[in-house]
Structure 1
Amino acid sequence: MSRLFRIAIDGPAASGKSTTAKLLAKKLGFGYIDSGAMYRAVTLKCLEKGVQVTDTQRVEEIVHHTNIRFPSLGHVELDGHDVSTAIRTSRIVQNINPIASNPGVRATLADQQRSLARAQDPAWPGFTMASTQEKIGGVVMDGRDIGTVILPDAELKVYIVADARVRAQRRFDELKRKNALAQGETVEAIAQDLESRDKADRTRKASPLKKAEDAVELDTSHKTIDEQVEAIEKMVYDRL
């Protein structure tokens, strides 16, 4: 690739950032790195091994011996096994906070994320600028500290926000589509979980959720996924 363009997308849970990032990457021919899925995968591994997610030292040992890959768009592999659906259940959401706030876990995964963002996988063809015929390659990475910690020098940073009730309904619909709803789970219960997650993300000492100073804020409360993708795609071309 003659030019690397990195897009950092941050925002609270269920704001639409992951779906938007995934579709944007597909449209641009970029790689997609779901940083949140990496924390989910570590949480899943701890639960499967019977390790308390609050056992800081043991969790840090586990993450050092964990291999997380994104073999194709929308798929996540944990130690060679596809966990794309398993990491999206409410059980993971209810146990992820201690993992996401563990400084050792964050440091290890941050190194992995930066390494992935530097790689130019042949499966990521990128696109050619029509006006200059310049080849543009890159990655789209979403999470909560991408623009502030992981890729502070990203070519484009976007901070996605959305109404709390809208986010809860989106998460409910997602879990329902994937048959991952817990018995009796409601939108209200999910809203409470999201509120707790938001508070934990914003107040944790290690890489709290916040908008980078040079990030562009995008409110998706009343936007369709296609509209969100189009809005960020325009930002990319404007920067180029």
Structure 2
Amino acid sequence: MQPLFCYPLIKGGKKVFKEKNDPIAVANHFIQQYYPHCQGAILAGSIVRGEGTSTSDLDIVIFDNSILSAFRESFYVEGWPVEVFIHNLSSYKHYFELDCERAKPSLPKMIVEGMVLKDDGLLSSIQGEARLLLSNGPKEWSKATITLKRYFLTDVLDDFIGSTTPEEDIFIVHTLLELASEFVLRVNRQWVGTSKWGYRALKQFDESFAHKFIEVFDAYYKHRDKVKIIELVDEILEPFGGRLFEGFSLGKSTSNDH
């Protein structure tokens, strides 16, 4: 079993693992070298949460009022992949707003869950803003939005039911998974996520439902069982009127518009 903090190298056609330096020390060295005059720095990500793997990177949020606008950069530092998110003392607010609009609170989560490495006295206030945003949850979907999402989910489900091409089914079911999980979370005013964060968002909302959701889609990937997915999507849509096709309209002008 290789050490936790290591990275793979190929030598003589074989994979070997080289140990990495302590991630907190590496992050501090990085800040001292590249952003020594910053007003605040937070180390976030799976390493801080105790969920690191051999491929984990270091996510570092920097607050530096000398920069004109926010940006991000990627580095390799002492064997670690490092992603840096640089903000001045106001740019983060715009990204908070964007995260709220898309219901994916990446930056607020990093700021709240991360480890403070440097603080000139401003991080407590910023963390308070992020914590309040997370606790409030995303904006509630309107009835019109729910109707629109029902229609799109129905459309993809119909494609899935009617498809006779296994290769196309793979792509359809991926879209169906994303739309169905988004629908469940957003109608319940929950934050959503992509990639591994999609499952984590479902689990945080309802662990029992998340387990069922994964079982249903896993059954398809293993056995190409469409029935369970169809039943699950119908179950998700049922409280909101079920599948939607007939009567749906988008962008139609009426006499009242003139």
Provide TM-score, normalisation by structure 1: 0.23
- The structure with higher relative contact order (CA 8 Å, sep 6+) is 1
Which of the two has greater helix per residue? 2
Larger Rg: 2
